[in-house]
Amino acid sequence: MSKVAQYLQEHLLGEVSTSKDALRHFSTDHSIFQVEPSIVVYPANEHDVRKTTRFLWQLAERGRVIPMTPRGAGTDTSGAALGNGVMMVFPAHMNRIVELDLKSGRAVVEPGLNYGRLQQTLHTHERYIPSYPSSLEFSTIGGAVGNNASGERSYKYGSTSAHVRSLRVVLANGEVITTRRLSKRELGKKMGLSTFEGDIYRKLDAVLDDQAAAVDASVRAVSRNASGYNLADIKHRDGSFDLTPLFVGSQGTLGTITEISLDTLEYNPETHLVMASFHNLDAALAAVQTVQHSKLQPSSIEMVDYHLLDLVSKLNPNLLKSVLPPPLPKVVLLLEFDDSSERARKKGIKDLKKLITNDVDRLIVADDPLEQALLRKIRHSSSILMSHSEGRLKPIPLIDDAIVPLDELPGFVADVYKLFADNKLQVALWGSVGDGLLHTQPFLDLEQLGERQKAFRLLDQYHKIVNKHRGSLTASRGDGRLRGPYLAAEYGHDVYTLFQKVKALFDPYNFLNPGVKINVTTDAVKPLIRPSYGLDRLYKYLPRS
Ligand SMILES: Cc1cc2nc3c(=O)[nH]c(=O)nc-3n(C[C@H](O)[C@H](O)[C@H](O)COP(=O)(O)OP(=O)(O)OC[C@H]3O[C@@H](n4cnc5c(N)ncnc54)[C@H](O)[C@@H]3O)c2cc1C
């Protein structure tokens, strides 16, 4: 055991491990990368996080920089839950619901809490967090905050950031701060502090004022965004100031979150689900736009394309037979209505029918949970693709989270189909089409050097397509190592330089999850690709249909 590990073991309440197995286990997340940590820390409490961070800061002051990576369940697909220094693993101990105030709906939780467990607990009180990712059963709430995760209902309710009220964060020097929206007066007080926290408020406020044009330019014209740093929501016109939106989605690169305060919403298990199938892609996308421009408020609009349906019906012929008799449609849309009153839901569906009736081939409305479960199999069939392999070819989470403005969607989809055709790859699209967010995963054999090179060529080409359509490379899964190299091109020089300034302000010694999101180059990440990419620890959850 190294001296650093020994010191930590002597001073922490939680465990410290350098066992080969543990290091190997934490050397992968659900991205295509592999980076082995040198020490695994299981913090027992915030004090352990503070102590570890303070120690690493002191080492960095003396010129010895050891990276630190906070980690939830490690389901990240961008390579952001990996690092070669200290791996700070939260689910072991820091996994409690600290407080649940049913009157205000406020939940205070520790970051290592399993998201599904939190959601189940909330359901028993008829409450929930609507921005849950589809990975909730096997991921943590800390990871969702780290990535600014989102899911199907984010169409109506926004991403994680919309529901986080305040955070406790351990800063790079070990100081603990609580973030929340501060009035102008409260901000003044913070700026008067002679601590690292005071320094951050002073410098950040000055930099945001000075670079106001770049702050404005950092806003992408999309409804969800997990790329870059959220600078635009820190300072409001009334002078109020909040670091919370900045930490949400920062992937552990600015500070380590030890407690999260969330607003929960009333949970209504009664929904109406509409399945609309189309024999024409343009008609389906036009229908999505019509709904978006109308007064209708579905809670989600999800899509599955013909290619996915075709693949799934070949792999598992019985799965969709009862809901989608042949011939398969070009596109299926699933629209959910979650209004609390049945009357409002029914009216929504009546209006929807009027709006899209000319374009749609078949329309099924389900209010019965069993019937809905059958229809939802269509959307969940993407997990059949994800857990499928063809020889050594596997679907790779490489170009799977881009989001574009809705008016760009038809052109974007056409370009993505062409990209796959040009590269002789099998294509399939699915996702939250109502937001302009579509996933796809090319089948590649990463054991072959040529295929690994192809992966980066694909990423380059995909990135250009997303930029052409004014989109963001990641709606919900973060830049990490995978998309970090494209951040400068996505945002342009001024905004990217501002991101770098903010990172340096919070992390002057660059040890908070370095090599993630910011200052990442393709040359640095190429050697990290693991030939043996697989869903490993997820097979017990997939496929879910
Ligand atoms: C099959 C599959 C489906 C998925 N579906 C979705 C989806 O629908 N929507 C979606 O948004 N994502 C999805 N993801 C990606 C991922 O599961 C989510 O983003 C999830 O919220 C990450 O949680 P985690 O606990 O695994 O976090 P991790 O992977 O452990 O970490 C994620 C990021 O958060 C940081 N982090 C973790 N804890 C802390 C902390 N305490 N302080 C600061 N930073 C921290 C990490 O350093 C890392 O950068 C999916 C992934 C898979 C494999």
Residue nearest to atom 15 of ligand 1 (CA): 76
The DSSP code sequence of 157-194 is: H--GGGGEEEEEEE-TTS-EEEE--B-HHHHHHHHT--
Average pLDDT, the chain: 96
481 CB under 6 A from ligand 1?
Answer: no
Q: What is the pLDDT of residues 437-469, one digit of tens each?
A: 999 999 999 999 999 999 999 999 999 999 999
Answer whether 0.95 is exceeded by the pTM: yes
Q: What is the pLDDT of residues 322-378, one digit of tens each?
A: 899 989 999 999 999 999 999 999 999 999 999 998 889 999 999 999 999 999 999
- Mean pLDDT across 370-387: 93
Alpha carbon 336 to chain centroid distance? 22
Angle between helices 281-293 and 342-356 (to 10 degrees): 130
Residue nearest to atom 49 of ligand 1 (CA): 251
CB-CB contact of 416 with 427 (8 Å): yes
- Mean pLDDT across 125-152: 98
User: Which of 147, 148, 157, 250 maximizes ligand 1 atoms within 8 Å of its Cβ, making it the mutation to test the pocket?
Assistant: 147
136 CB under 6 A from ligand 1?
Answer: no
Query: Ligand 1 centre from 477 Cα, in Å?
Result: 7
pLDDT at 545 over 80: no
Query: Ligand 1 centre from 133 Cα, in Å?
Result: 9
Residue 209 C-beta-side C-alpha neighbours within 13 Å: 8
Higher pLDDT, 229 or 323: 229
Question: Rounded to an integer, what distance in angstroms lies between the CA atom of residue 486 and that of residue 479?
Answer: 9
Which residue is it, tokens 């009333």?
266
131 CB under 6 A from ligand 1?
Answer: no
The DSSP code sequence of 511-535 is: -BSTTSSSS--HHHHGGGB-TT---
174 CB under 6 A from ligand 1?
Answer: no
Q: What is the pLDDT of residues 23-56, one digit of tens each?
A: 999 999 999 999 999 999 999 999 999 999 999 9
CA-based nearest residue to 73, from 3, 149, 17: 149
Residue 256: what pLDDT? 99
3-state secondary structure of 104: coil
User: pLDDT exceeding 90 applies to what percent of the chain?
Assistant: 94
Query: φ, ψ for residue 535 (rounded to 5)?
Result: -85, 0
pLDDT at 496 over 80: yes
CB-CB contact of 448 with 440 (8 Å): no
81 CB under 6 A from ligand 1?
Answer: yes
- Mean pLDDT across 371-396: 93
Query: Cα torsion for 61, 245, 227, 444, to the nearest 10°?
Result: 90
Whether a cis peptide bond, with omega within 30° of 0, leads into 397 is no
451 CB under 6 A from ligand 1?
Answer: no
Q: What is the pLDDT of residues 146-159, one digit of tens each?
A: 999 999 999 999 99
Query: Ligand 1 centre from 10 Cα, in Å?
Result: 31
**Cα–Cα distances in angstroms (integers) from residue 296 to residues 33, 303, 336, in the given order:** 42, 18, 11
Residue 270: what pLDDT? 96
Residue 535: what pLDDT? 87
